[in-house]
């Protein structure tokens, strides 16, 4: 039985003081999630990770939005895995479409980051999804298949048990144009089949999230799909009220 997972992606939003306040204000929501066997968390900016980690309920998942695959070195502006672990951060988003679009994050780069995270017993949340042009050209499964195969090549079934995959069609992120539940389930089911081909039965243990304009009003429909285990949520995770709505609507 896969536990439901609700993860907020704050992108480049919230100062450290605002992030701390959110962490304090959501303690009872984390308690509620935990009582209902739901994992709940947020991915703040690097500068707010410590504030959230120190002030949130201890069961709150606190994820970084990126990391470098090398432990240290001449990589100006980057943050390494040991630096995250020093603050108790062991979840990291990898390959978010904004990083793929603006920071040249390729499947191979994602692969190296996931490899480094798995070697450190951390949880990568590997984001995949097609652009609008690819969707319109009917290439969704071809694109997602390449992202899964190249991003996860060579790992063992034991290693990928901890992995979370997030299917986020790029055309639905921050646009208010969410994918229908039929599309979301079709692609998430396809991803599970790819994981089964690549890793065997462990595919049934890997959590697959849908992301893209998820809101309190539509989250329940996504989570009622057999292959969707949770949501990766941007805009609607920023305010306590809508974050609460996302949770209470899937209890
Ligand atoms: C995201 O950033 O991963 C996301 C899905 O954003 P939004 O919910 O705002 O579409």
Tell the residue number behind the tokens 């063992």, with chain if given. 156
Which residue's CA is the closest to the ligand 1 atom numbered 4?
234
The predicted pLDDT at position 176 comes to: 86
The predicted pLDDT at position 28 comes to: 98
Domains of the chain: 4-248 (3.20.20.70)
The predicted pLDDT at position 1 comes to: 84
Tally of residues, the chain: 251
The predicted pLDDT at position 102 comes to: 96
Question: What residues does 116 pair with on adjacent strands?
Answer: none
Shortest CA distance to 41 belongs to which of 24, 55, 25, 23? 23
CA distance 118 to 222: 28
Per-residue pLDDT of the chain (251 residues; tens, 9 = 90+): 899 999 999 999 999 999 999 999 999 999 999 999 999 999 999 999 999 999 999 999 999 999 999 999 999 999 999 999 999 999 999 999 999 999 999 999 999 999 999 999 999 999 999 999 999 999 999 999 999 999 999 999 999 999 999 999 999 998 888 899 999 999 999 999 999 999 999 999 999 999 999 999 999 999 999 999 999 999 999 999 999 999 999 99
CA distance 215 to 83: 33
The catalytically annotated residue of 68, 96, 98, 111 is: 96
Question: Count of H helices and E strands in the chain?
Answer: 12, 8
139-144: Cβ within 8 A, 24+ apart: 140/169, 140/187, 141/187, 141/190, 144/187, 144/190, 144/191, 144/194
Distance 173 CA to ligand 1 centre (A): 5
Distance 183 CA to ligand 1 centre (A): 17
The predicted pLDDT at position 209 comes to: 98
DSSP class of residue 237?
G
Q: Indicate whether this model's pTM tops 0.85.
A: yes
Helical packing angle, 240-248 and 27-35, nearest 10°: 10
Asked whether 63 and 40 are in contact (CB, 8 A), the reply is: no
Q: Which atom of ligand 1 is nearest to the CA of 98?
A: 2
80-88: Cβ within 8 A, 24+ apart: 81/116, 81/117, 81/120, 81/122, 84/49, 84/122, 85/120, 85/122, 87/49, 87/50, 87/53, 88/53, 88/62
The predicted pLDDT at position 31 comes to: 98
Q: Which atom of ligand 1 is nearest to the CA of 178?
A: 10
Distance 235 CA to ligand 1 centre (A): 6
Distance 72 CA to ligand 1 centre (A): 30
The predicted pLDDT at position 184 comes to: 98
Show the tokens assigned to 5: 């997972």
The predicted pLDDT at position 236 comes to: 98
The catalytically annotated residue of 71, 150, 168, 197 is: 168
Q: In testing the pocket of ligand 1, which one of 100, 178, 211 has its CB within 8 Å of the most ligand atoms? A: 211
């Amino acid at each position: 039985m896969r536990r439901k997972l609700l993860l907020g992606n704050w992108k480049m939003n919230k100062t450290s003081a605002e992030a701390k306040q959110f962490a304090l204000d959501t303690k009872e929501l984390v308690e509620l999630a935990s009582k209902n066997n739901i994992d709940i968390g947020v991915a703040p900016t690097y500068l707010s990770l410590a504030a959230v980690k120190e002030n949130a309920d201890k069961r709150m998942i606190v994820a970084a939005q990126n990391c470098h695959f090398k432990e240290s070195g001449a990589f100006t502006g980057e943050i390494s895995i040991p630096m995250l672990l020093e603050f108790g951060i062991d979840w990291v988003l990898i390959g978010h479409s904004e990083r793929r679009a603006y920071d040249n994050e390729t499947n191979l780069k994602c692969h190296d980051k996931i490899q480094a995270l798995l070697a450190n017993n951390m949880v990568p949340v590997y984001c995949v999804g097609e652009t609008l042009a690819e969707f319109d050209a009917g290439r969704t499964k071809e694109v997602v298949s390449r992202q899964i195969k190249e991003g996860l090549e060579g790992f063992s079934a034991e290693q990928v048990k901890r992995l979370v995959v997030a299917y986020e069609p790029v055309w639905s992120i921050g646009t208010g144009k969410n994918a229908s539940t039929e599309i979301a389930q079709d692609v998430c089911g396809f991803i599970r089949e790819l994981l089964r081909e690549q890793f065997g039965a462990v595919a049934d243990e890997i959590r697959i999230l849908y992301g893209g304009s998820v809101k309190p009003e539509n989250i329940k429909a996504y989570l009622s799909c057999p292959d969707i285990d949770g949501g990766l949520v941007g805009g609607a995770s920023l305010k306590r009220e809508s974050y609460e709505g996302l949770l209470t609507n899937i209890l």
